[in-house]
Structure 1
Amino acid sequence: MSVKEQLLDVAEAMVREGGYNNFSFRDLADKVGIKSASVHYHFKTKPDLGVELVRRYTARFLQTLDTAASTPEQADAAPQAIVQRGFRDALHSSGMMCLCGLLAAEGDGLPPEVRQATRAFFEGTQQWLAERIAQQSGTTPEQAAQQALRQMAMLEGAMLMAKIHDDLRLFDQITGSDAG
């Protein structure tokens, strides 16, 4: 794993554990075991790091959805179920909030470029979902976009409720997910 990937992995964990403003480049360098100047070699500024984190997270999440949607067992699944499973798996595997959900909650305190990248995660995921809802159900693009928006809000809210109550099972109760 490259130093840049290590920095991104550690920074993602730090943001998901304590928020964007909860760490410095020095903290990040200490965790990775490098000098803080080395962090600046890879990311000129903290907003540059934040944007890269969000872009990487977005790409991985959308790739996970594409992969899930292309498996034979998911071929006929409702797209809402695929997205719901993506959120559920992320929460249950790490016990942490969606990176972009957490950043969205911090929205007013984020640098504009990190805020915009975070918005792009939601727009991209909503678009992925809306396109598939429209294809599968024959609804209009506008109706599908509204359904996707409601689904995204419910999933992020379910994550928040599960985290604040320290009970990941709440996500399943709120979303109607099966336990498996």
Structure 2
Amino acid sequence: MKSIASTSDKILDVAQSLIVAGGYNGFSYADISDAIGIRKASIHHHFPAKAALVAVLVDRYVKQAEAGLQSLREQVASPADQLQFYTNYWHRCIRDASQPFCVCAMLASEMQMLPDEVASRVRAHFRNLAAWLTLVLQAGMEQGLFRLDKRPEEQAQMLMASVHGAMLSARALGDPELFIAVVGPEIARLRAA
């Protein structure tokens, strides 16, 4: 039996699509209203202000991301495979346009203009992602799977920047395969001979 999405979930889903397409300042409640077919007052009932809406959206996104990373930790033993699954996930999302860009990466591009309640959540997402990547790289190094040029924390930051930069390049040039063309060699360089 299929569950029917709540109005709040529909609002969040549309807001997420609009943020991925145009960022925080690229949408209004009128855009959501038009997409869902409800009045702006109904949106305000669920989310009194845009900052509150986007804060809840980022919380939901971060929770989903953390659940996905936790699942990788639990179900995929090899750190090398965890990293490959992570990059494959983004490649698939970009290729099939199911999630062509990281919501937090899009919001981070507007960091100076974001309300504090949103900016702090975006920063927390990147800290959590960097921590996960650091653990994966550290474990892979200890198991002889990865050869790191830098400390795991620094290599994690470089890899995170590479993944998000590759998303941006793929988007800018309209070429989903560019993502893997950029990230693939980065992953290959990490792997120990």
TM bracket (short chain):
0.7 to 0.9
Whether contact under 8 Å (2:104, 2:125) holds in the other structure is yes
Match of 1:116 among 102, 109, 120: 120
**1:13 Cα deviation (Å)?**
0.4
Alignment correspondent of 1:175:
183
Whether contact under 8 Å (2:59, 2:121) holds in the other structure is yes
Assess, with a 3 A threshold, how the Cα gap between structure 1 residues 27 and 40 changes in structure 2: closer, same or farther. same
SS of residue paired to 1:128: helix
Alignment correspondent of 2:157:
149
Q: What's the TM-score, normalizing by structure 2?
A: 0.81
Assess, with a 3 A threshold, how the Cα gap between structure 1 residues 85 and 70 changes in structure 2: closer, same or farther. farther
Which residue identity is paired with 1:129? Answer: L
Whether contact under 8 Å (1:64, 1:86) holds in the other structure is no
Provide the C-alpha distance between the structure 2 equivalents of 1:53 and 1:2, rounded to a whole number of angstroms: 14
Provide the C-alpha distance between the structure 2 equivalents of 1:86 and 1:128, rounded to a whole number of angstroms: 15
Task: Give the total of aligned pairs.
Answer: 174
Larger radius of gyration: 2
Q: Any stretches of 5+ residues in structure 2 without a counterpart? A: 188-193
Which residue identity is paired with 2:182? Answer: I
Q: Any stretches of 5+ residues in structure 1 without a counterpart? A: none
Whether contact under 8 Å (1:65, 1:82) holds in the other structure is no
Q: What's the TM-score, normalizing by structure 1?
A: 0.87
Provide the C-alpha distance between the structure 2 equivalents of 1:39 and 1:119, rounded to a whole number of angstroms: 26
Q: Give a deviation string over 1:11-69, Cα, whole Å, max 9, x none.
A: 00011111111111122122111111111111121011111111111111221222234
